[in-house]
Structure 1
């Protein structure tokens, strides 16, 4: 009787599409709800349009009624222009599919380059597999951070990185981990450029890492980590 909710908002941003990513709906369609939205694959963070695919049958009908009942007390309707954009996007026309493909390649290249900088500095970081976030762990630096910088918590490290170097990250504690955990959520999106022209150039570049503004951002990460390690 367990209902599965599978949030697949990052599905289109998995770097290696082979083998195809399995979804719970492939194995238990009668009790799986799949959710997604436009904000990640199309970078439409402010366009609040999400969807939920409900299972066929009595369970889906019950959930549909409950969702409508709750939703009617929370929101009225998605704005008209966003509805039109969502209808276009969810039909997946070739030009949007191509853009998502370019986005996926850009995320992969930059995320892997950032991860390589953290790894080279001795920070533990899982290999990026999707999207535009990393989760480096400064645990190998724990004694050094405490003795040299007085940092003993994830929040303390995040504050130090921001105040000392202007590097904005989120500590693991905001995602439910213990305060003592030194993992950080690092987003790569700001490296793509400061202007629309730079971001479009990054999106279409065969080698985005070689673009001057991205290379400069990566060099800055190296500088910050080197200084933090002193």
Structure 2
């Protein structure tokens, strides 16, 4: 989006334990280097419950990143779309940057992440309660008005209702989180079983797989980068499998995001059945989808084993 507006974007590496939050030392180095070259970085975009990696930033890592950003005078944009989808809330501590630096953080959330159906576009932003926040609020409204960016009336009504967090909505969200957590764990296990790498999913509806260890057999299939990997797995799995280059990773890295949603069925009836079943992974259509996923991944591992020289 920034590039479409003609704004420069500077990527900063993330720490090993999570995505969505910059390594504080890399952030400081990047900001100072860019300024020394005549640039003017002013915003840091981060996500404590990250898409695509499905990780949650530990509070201490987030605190160091926020302190580094504050020291450099950056305004923070905190994408918290997936904060209400923690797989194990009792084991995972999620802290918002707005709790640490309320005067310099704007929180944004796509309500389709947890509260609304995916086809109902609506998002909200919470701006700082300061004079600067008031100015930013006015500028945002000017831009939205110029773009004629409106939320359709039925969607706006549903969004306003969902934001009050009534019991029917929260109950459905909790059921959906449990369901996607179980499916994500199965997908993660399938990736690891074939020698791929992936951080355990902690939130959201994705698993971010690094298939770099399978580079040799993938190369034999004509896969040399993330776009090739996306094309191969999308065709084989019969569902979107966007490559890591779409999320800022290097094109040469063999990373791909695997979503849990398509594994739950193609009809509303099937997805509803998943939400209400005590054993969703044992439902025939879900079981078939997971078997197919494992088969596609196993095929790569088996190919690698066939290529190993005899001992």
Q: Scaled by the length of structure 1, what TM-score is found?
A: 0.93
Secondary structure of 1:39's aligned partner:
helix
Could you tell me which residue of structure 2 aligns to residue 49 of structure 1?
122
Q: Which of 127, 133, 149 is equivalent to 2:206?
A: 133
- 1:143 and 2:216 aligned: yes
- 1:226 and 2:282 aligned: no
Q: Which of 67, 80, 92 is equivalent to 1:8?
A: 80
Distance 1:151 1:37, change over 3 A: closer
Could you tell me which residue of structure 1 aligns to residue 132 of structure 2?
59
- 1:178 and 2:220 aligned: no
User: Aligned equivalents of 1:201 and 1:214: distance in 2?
Assistant: 10
CA deviation after TM superposition for structure 1 residue 20, in Å: 4.0
Could you tell me which residue of structure 2 aligns to residue 86 of structure 1?
159
CA deviation after TM superposition for structure 1 residue 108, in Å: 0.2
User: Aligned equivalents of 2:237 and 2:173: distance in 1?
Assistant: 32
CA contact (8 A) 2:239 2:262 kept: no
CA deviation map 1:61-99 (0-9, x unaligned): 111111111111112532211111011000000110000
- 1:154 and 2:226 aligned: yes
Could you tell me which residue of structure 2 aligns to residue 100 of structure 1?
173
User: Aligned equivalents of 2:273 and 2:78: distance in 1?
Assistant: 34
Task: Flag structure 2 segments of 5+ consecutive residues without an equivalent.
Answer: 1-72, 304-311
User: Aligned equivalents of 1:47 and 1:167: distance in 2?
Assistant: 21
- 1:202 and 2:274 aligned: yes
Secondary structure of 2:159's aligned partner:
helix
CA deviation map 1:21-62 (0-9, x unaligned): 111111111121111132110352222221111111211111
CA deviation after TM superposition for structure 1 residue 7, in Å: 1.0
User: Aligned equivalents of 1:36 and 1:48: distance in 2?
Assistant: 11
User: Aligned equivalents of 1:32 and 1:168: distance in 2?
Assistant: 33
- 1:124 and 2:197 aligned: yes
Q: Which of 188, 197, 200 is equivalent to 2:260?
A: 188
Distance 1:55 1:167, change over 3 A: closer
**Structure 1 segments (4+ residues) deviating >4 Å:** none
> How many equivalent residue pairs?
229
Distance 1:206 1:101, change over 3 A: same
Could you tell me which residue of structure 2 aligns to residue 212 of structure 1?
284
RMSD over aligned Cα atoms: 1.6
User: Aligned equivalents of 1:111 and 1:210: distance in 2?
Assistant: 15
User: Aligned equivalents of 2:232 and 2:130: distance in 1?
Assistant: 53
CA contact (8 A) 2:116 2:159 kept: no
Secondary structure of 2:109's aligned partner:
strand
CA deviation after TM superposition for structure 1 residue 149, in Å: 1.3
CA deviation after TM superposition for structure 1 residue 174, in Å: 1.7
CA contact (8 A) 2:226 2:256 kept: yes
Secondary structure of 1:12's aligned partner:
coil
User: Aligned equivalents of 2:140 and 2:117: distance in 1?
Assistant: 24
Could you tell me which residue of structure 2 aligns to residue 75 of structure 1?
148
